[in-house]
Amino acid sequence: MTIIIGVVIIILLVISLIPNYQAMKLAKNQGQKPTRYTIMVGIDLILIVLIAITLILKMNS
């Protein structure tokens, strides 16, 4: 059950990451400061990595 929840959360984070990354690139290309989008993309990536590591460790034990 824990693994299923972890996979669902990773999928939701990836779905959230894609538009944030596109908005960050668009803001950069328009010459605006993409600080907000950069922070959101960074948080999404950190959470994806942490949850993936947790799932890997959970499957090995």
Q: What is the pLDDT of residue 45?
A: 96
Series of mean pLDDT values for 10-residue runs along the chain (61 residues):
92 96 96 94 96 93 78
Distances (CA, A) of 47 to 26, 27, 44: 23, 23, 5
Q: What is the pLDDT of residue 2?
A: 85
Distances (CA, A) of 22 to 42, 55, 56: 13, 28, 29
Q: What is the pLDDT of residue 12?
A: 96
CA distance 29 to 38: 14
CA distance 21 to 8: 20
Domain boundaries, the chain: 1-60
- Whether the full predicted model's pTM is greater than 0.85, yes or no, is yes
